[in-house]
Amino acid sequence: LVIVLDFGGQYNQLVARRVRECNVYCEIYSYKTDIEKIKAMNPKGIILTGGPNSCYEADSPTYAKELFEMGIPVLGLCYGAQLMMHILGGKVERADVREYGKTEVFVDKTSPLFGDVSEKTVCWMSHFDYISKIAPGFRITAHTADCPTAAAECQEKGLYAIQFHPEVLHTPEGTKMLYNFVRNVCGCAGDWKMDAFVENSIKAIREKVGDGKVLCALSGGVDSSVAAVMLSKAIGNQLTCVFVDHGLLRKNEGDEVEAVFGPDGPYDLNFIRVNAQERFYSKLAGVEEPERKRKIIGEEFIRVFEEEAKKIGAVDFLVQGTIYPDVVESGLGGESAVIKSHHNVGGLPDYVDFKEIIEPLRDLFKDEVRKAGLEMGIPEYLVFRQPFPGPGLGIRIIGEVNAEKVRIVQDADAIYREEIAKAGLDRGIGQYFAALTNMRSVGVMGDERTYDYAVALRAVNTIDFMTAEAAELPFEVLQTVMSRIINEVRGVNRVFYDLTSKPPGTIEFE
Ligand code: XMP
């Protein structure tokens, strides 16, 4: 076990994730965690994360000096590095220039952290303060043009400080440095794998739930599916999954979800499918304003879910497929600051009678959730499903939603996805889908004039879905998709490709 002590940096989970990539198990704790608790966990190493504060200010996050005297290797990153120096008798001051961005760094290859790292490499810097004097017993092991102490260490005591961020990909050799720390300095065996995470989680859920009843809102998306399967493996039919088909799903998606989670599927759980299409369409009739549409869909979803929950009666736990990026976006990410409030379907139902929430995927990134899914034998097409917004096709149909428009966008989207997969592009694109513009225009088909809808195709590449760029799809693929949509989907006579990046566009159309 390696413990990551969170001092409020944006990258704390990324640190944990890199450690897991070295096949070493790690857990994140707040810097407020008592030292006795840390000791009791008997970690092989401790990593202090970055953070937004200045360690020399009175009320800044700090830690007991004893942390550095337990004989357990400690690696401080950014704020963590400064704090280590500050506590152990070095000096940290405000720098004249803020160092930010990719920076060339010169490392001392005799350091155990940098043995296999290039002498001149690139690192990601983001700091106002700098270490102006290292603590006694330390030596400097890296510097940049502006930063005399980019890294320092006291090998005998197993203490290491790195001013930059080895955990981000902008530090190309950063993973090596973290590997060197956890595997070589701390001596972790590196035998932790996703299967262990899955196994431990299942065990922990089983203990927590006991013989209690658990309710899960299953959307068929990756996260809720993986969470549901994990629960089912832990507690079998003590779990009930409610799947609301709001009629705004992709083509055949409702049946696909039912095939996997329903009574004919491989999992032991109670599956309830609610076919609420008509309810949603009638609520949406005549509504054009995007935010109102979102609200109606979100609220109706909750009403339907609540009605089902009432039939089931009181439960002990409610499962949420929250994953780490959701936690960060909602500003609940440990010590880190709010970025934006997450826009998921409506939030929590008011009157579901439950005692506690279970979030088995809360610490994982999307690709780790997928790995966990594969580990549990969930079919690949489900595990590699694209992100799909809670309001579904409702926000991919501009303007009023009705059954006819849903059919058009479902059919066009299915063709688009089929062709993308055929071209072998499906895993390489961040998100892609067809949307229905509310525009109709004149065309000619056979010898006849048509006046039909235009479909927009969207495909974006993105790292975090906060910014995105249009993907450069091969023209032949676009052409095939266009001609198939126009030939096969009644009501469409024009196809556009959306080139807009985010910002200024958003990924979805509403
Ligand atoms: P935008 O359109 O905001 O989308 O650029 C960014 C990402 O978020 C997804 N998205 C949603 N996901 N509920 C969700 O669960 C929502 O209401 C919602 N709106 C957008 C979108 O598909 C994209 O991946």
223 in a labelled binding site:
yes
Using a 6 Å CB cutoff, which residues line ligand 1?
343-344, 387, 389-391, 431, 465, 502, 506-508
Asked if residue 506 belongs to a domain, the reply is no
Q: Please indicate, yes or no, whether residues 235 and 271 belong to a single structural domain of this protein.
A: yes
Q: Please indicate, yes or no, whether residues 413 and 329 belong to a single structural domain of this protein.
A: no
Calpha distance 193→414 (Å, rounded): 36
| 479: its two tokens | 């052409």
Q: Please indicate, yes or no, whether residues 432 and 373 belong to a single structural domain of this protein.
A: no
CA of 508 to the centre of ligand 1 (A): 7
Instruction: Please choose, from the candidates 310, 341, 104, 282, the residue with its C-alpha nearest in 3D space to the C-alpha of residue 215.
Output: 310
Q: Please indicate, yes or no, whether residues 220 and 340 belong to a single structural domain of this protein.
A: yes
Q: Which range marks the domain in which residue 327 is found?
A: 194-383
Q: State the total domains in the chain.
A: 3
246 is catalytic: no
| Number of Cβ atoms within 10 Å of the Cβ of 147 | 21
Q: Please indicate, yes or no, whether residues 144 and 226 belong to a single structural domain of this protein.
A: no
428 in a labelled binding site:
no
CATH number assigned to the domain comprising residue 413: 3.30.300.10
Q: Please indicate, yes or no, whether residues 256 and 365 belong to a single structural domain of this protein.
A: yes
Instruction: Please choose, from the candidates 111, 28, 19, 35, the residue with its C-alpha nearest in 3D space to the C-alpha of residue 70.
Output: 35
CA of 78 to the centre of ligand 1 (A): 32
Q: Is the dihedral of CA 107, 109, 115, 118 positive or negative?
A: positive
| Complex ipTM tops 0.90 | yes
Q: Please indicate, yes or no, whether residues 43 and 89 belong to a single structural domain of this protein.
A: yes
Catalytic residue, candidates 22, 55, 78, 147: 78
Task: Select from 352, 383, 414 the last residue of a domain.
Answer: 383
222 in a labelled binding site:
yes
The tens place of each residue's pLDDT in the chain, 510 residues long, gives: 999 999 988 888 889 989 999 999 888 889 999 999 999 999 999 999 999 899 999 999 999 999 999 999 999 999 999 999 999 999 999 998 888 899 999 999 999 999 999 999 999 999 899 999 999 999 999 999 989 999 999 999 999 999 999 999 899 999 999 999 999 999 999 988 888 889 999 999 999 999 999 999 998 889 999 999 999 999 999 999 999 999 999 999 999 999 999 999 999 999 999 999 999 999 999 999 999 999 999 889 888 988 998 899 889 999 988 888 776 655 444 554 433 333 443 455 566 678 888 999 988 888 899 999 999 999 888 898 888 988 999 999 999 999 999 999 999 999 999 999 999 999 889 999 999 999 999 999 888 999 999 999 999 998 777 788 999 999 999 999 999 999 999 999 999 999 999 989 999 999
Calpha distance 134→136 (Å, rounded): 7
CATH number assigned to the domain comprising residue 206: 3.40.50.620
Asked if residue 394 belongs to a domain, the reply is no
Calpha distance 290→299 (Å, rounded): 14
Which one-letter DSSP state was computed for residue 236?
G
Nearest CA to ligand 1 atom 18: 389
